[in-house]
Amino acid sequence: MIDRVLDQPALRLQRETSWSLVAAFGAMVALLVVAPFAIYPVFLMQALCFALFACAFNLLIGYVGLISFGHALFFGWASYLTAHAAKVWTLPPALAVLVGTVTAAVLGLVAGGLAIRRQGIYFAMITLALAQMMYFFALRAKFTGGEDGIQGVPRGRLFGFFDLSHEMTMYVFVLVVVLAGFLLIYRIINSPFGEVLKAIRENEPRAISLGYKTERYKLVAFVLSATLAGLAGSMKSLVFQLASLTDVHWTMSGDVVLMTLLGGLGTIFGPVVGAFLVIAMQNYLAPFGQWVLVIQGAIFVSCVLAFRRGIVGELASRMRIRL
């Protein structure tokens, strides 16, 4: 699938970092540094968390070729665990985030172990079903707070020093974490490990014949993707000081697919752009209730029919650069 998206020479593998990536990254960082002075920081933080979530998702679909429809599982449960750790166990924020992220990693290992056994659409259905199972679990479990969720999650002091209840301090924390995650993903993609993943995506039988244990590689990629999605969820629960059922619902999984599709599957910056756009749209259209659902659906349909490369993908293709 991604072969057809990435069939332009500009997007082929390159070991060296191309100028366009550096420029885009610089622009992105500059914008994000300046933005909170002009745009509501909570919105930005929300968008950043989802940007990381979408990048994590994109790691799996763009570079391994596996589409997960259940990524809310990792996002949401990390969110719950972080919220619980911060509120009930009164852990400091860094540790609370760690708890959430590790939870996501473990869940990723288990879910991945099951889902990797099938390809393509089966993989999508399995991830969806597993996520739904955990949704029901969240619905019933005491510690998740059911319909109410876990509210009033304290942000605490980061490293005992930075008071995260100040919006700008929190913003810097979120920005640093998300950028770190973003760079980590980039590093993964452009490493020997990443090359093997791409080889597997392009021609798995060939990779197997070359001696690679492809199942293992795919599982590692899955766990990495789940972990980073969990990191995003953990941060989000601190930003909103809330963990709720929406975070584990299948619509959340659908949202991240939409963000990545709209932004551009398999591009580096696509998920970021997609996340910002979708979050902005959701916030802007909130008073219109269910029309958000309709519009998101319409975007899905249009992207698949006419706009498969997504915004960033289309841009990169036209300008013949890597993004």
| Residues in contact with another protein by the rule CB under 8 A | 1, 4, 67, 69, 114-115, 117-118, 120-122, 124-126, 128-130, 132-133, 136-137, 139-140, 250, 254, 257, 261, 289-301, 303-305, 308
Task: Compute and round to an integer the Cα radius of gyration of the chain.
Answer: 19
In the complex, the smallest distance separating the C-beta of residue 146 from another protein, rounded to whole angstroms, is 14
Nearest CB to another protein, comparing residues 17 and 302: 302
Nearest CB to another protein, comparing residues 12 and 118: 118
Nearest CA to 175 among 90, 216, 113, 235?
235
In the complex, the smallest distance separating the C-beta of residue 323 from another protein, rounded to whole angstroms, is 21
Nearest CB to another protein, comparing residues 128 and 231: 128
Q: Crossing angle for the helix pair 250-263 and 120-140, nearest 10 degrees?
A: 140
Provide DSSP, 216-260. Answer: HHHHHHHHHHHHHHHHHHHHHHHHHTEE-GGGGSHHHHHHHHHHH
Residue 274, strand partner residues: none
In the complex, the smallest distance separating the C-beta of residue 57 from another protein, rounded to whole angstroms, is 13
Kind of pairing between the strands at 242-243 and 150-151? antiparallel
Nearest CB to another protein, comparing residues 89 and 136: 136
Rounded to 5 degrees, what angle do the CA atoms 227, 220, 75 make? 20
Output DSSP code: residue 151. E
In the complex, the smallest distance separating the C-beta of residue 98 from another protein, rounded to whole angstroms, is 27
Provide DSSP, 110-131. Answer: HHHHHHTTS-HHHHHHHHHHHH
Nearest CB to another protein, comparing residues 89 and 137: 137
Nearest CB to another protein, comparing residues 15 and 140: 140
In the complex, the smallest distance separating the C-beta of residue 169 from another protein, rounded to whole angstroms, is 37
Helix (H, G, I), strand (E, B) or coil at 17: coil
In the complex, the smallest distance separating the C-beta of residue 297 from another protein, rounded to whole angstroms, is 3
In the complex, the smallest distance separating the C-beta of residue 67 from another protein, rounded to whole angstroms, is 5
Nearest CB to another protein, comparing residues 137 and 284: 137
* CA 229/CA 265 separation, integer angstroms: 16
